[in-house]
Structure 1
Amino acid sequence: MTVRQLTPLDRLIAGFERALDTVAGAPEARRPTPAHGIAEAELDRAERRHAAGLMRINHAGEVCAQALYDGQAALARSEEIRRHLVHAAAEETDHLAWCAGRLRELDSRPSLFNPLWYAGSYAIGAAAALAGDPVSLGFVVETERQVEAHLAEHLETLPEQDQRSRAVLRQMQADEVRHADEAEACGGVELPFPIPPLMQLTSLLMKKVAYRI
């Protein structure tokens, strides 16, 4: 049986479909939610609103992650690196679905700016890929390190009794650490100044907006 090779147009169409799925909240997780079997906690209105705000930030972050990986994979120079990025993106899809599910449980919704987050992140991912695979992988390393740090902050500020959200964030954090380590092992290089602080500034803006809108 002959396996058909995807053309650039095929990949463009597939990427557009992934973008629609991501922004519309359609992706399905391959792994069960880490919150499975954990009872829902009693949260007052302020606690529920705060937990939802944090999960909305994390959902928006996963929209950005999907876009970054899609942009990087589309222009990766090595087929091996492209497969690595696609595999990591699949695990990030789990995170996206878990966060979406948790938002529904908290009677909330994703950020209204998700299409903007996706478009901007895709452009950044594509630009990183154009700089070459080592830089693209270095971008993955830096991104995942920053995500790991903000997840740690969220774990500290979540309502203590919200163990369902906490379980999701802990598994996400473990996955992000592994993704960074794997990208580094594949040849990711350290990004030069001022790229890391600019990434932090962009992330801070996204978090402030996504928490509320």
Structure 2
Amino acid sequence: MNARTLTSLDRFLAGCERALEAIAGSPPARRPTPAADIGEADLDDTERRHVAGLMRINHTGEVCAQALYFGQAALARDSDNREHLLHAAAEETDHLAWCAERLEQLDSRPSLLNPLWYAGSYAIGAAAALAGDPVSLGFVVETERQVEAHLAEHLEKLPPQDERSRAVLSQMQADEIRHAQAAQQRGGIDLPFPLPQLMHASSMVMKAVAYRL
């Protein structure tokens, strides 16, 4: 049986479905959570709120990652690069699901501003793709480097006994490093000043807001 060729409407509807799943914050994961066999830590109320804030930031970051990848893939000029972006997005979906599960375990919730984060990130991803695949892939490299750095920061800020959150963030960090390396190998270029600095500044705003909202 021949596979059906997707029309523009099919791709649009699939994109809408992916957006709704990301904004809702709990798409199905393909891989089991790294914390599956780890017991819950004994956290007091202050520690629990702090960990929930950190995991909400990471959940929001994964919402943004979904939007960035899909925005870039939608306008990618090379079909192989498009497939690479979609494959990376699928792994980021695992991260999103793991963070959502951890938030639920902490009796917390995702960011209330997820629709705004998604829309803005999709627009940025599409703009990067319009600049050409080398710039778009370079944007992936820089994004993943910055995400890897903030995951390292969060690993240091976690309460020592919270091994569940630590396992999730450690696997996410390893995946982000691999995504950056793969994008660079495919021809991603170093972004010119001041783009990395602007990306860092916008991420700082997102983290400050998502920690609370």
State the TM-score bracket (shorter-chain normalisation): over 0.9
TM-score by length of 2: 0.98
Matched, 1:212 2:212: yes
Cα shift at 1:2: 2.4
Could you say what the CA RMSD is over the residues aligned between the two structures, in angstroms? 0.7
Partner of 1:108: 108
Task: Return the alpha-carbon distance in structure 2 between the equivalents of residues 4 and 72 of structure 1.
Answer: 24
Give 1:11-90 correspondences, 5 Å limit.
11-90=11-90
The one-letter code sitting in structure 2 at the alignment partner of 1:166 is R
Give 1:117-156 correspondences, 5 Å limit.
117-156=117-156
Cα shift at 1:11: 1.3
**Preserved contact between residue 11 and residue 74 of structure 1 (Cα < 8 Å):** no
Cα shift at 1:3: 2.3
Task: Return the alpha-carbon distance in structure 1 between the equivalents of residues 11 and 174 of structure 2.
Answer: 30
**Preserved contact between residue 76 and residue 132 of structure 1 (Cα < 8 Å):** yes
Match of 2:27, SS state, is coil
Match of 1:110, SS state, is coil
TM-score by length of 1: 0.98
Identity of aligned residues (%): 76
Could you tell which deviates more after superposition, 8-17 or 62-71? 8-17
The one-letter code sitting in structure 2 at the alignment partner of 1:138 is G
Match of 1:28, SS state, is coil
The one-letter code sitting in structure 2 at the alignment partner of 1:101 is E
Task: Return the alpha-carbon distance in structure 2 between the equivalents of residues 41 and 130 of structure 1.
Answer: 46
Q: Give CA deviations for 1:103-150 in whole Å, capped at 9, x if unaligned.
A: 000000000000000000000000000111111000000000000000
Match of 1:2, SS state, is coil
Unaligned runs of 5+ in 1: none
Cα shift at 1:5: 2.2
Unaligned runs of 5+ in 2: none
Residues matched between the structures, number: 213
Cα shift at 1:36: 1.1
Task: Return the alpha-carbon distance in structure 2 between the equivalents of residues 74 and 29 of structure 1.
Answer: 22
Cα shift at 1:10: 1.8
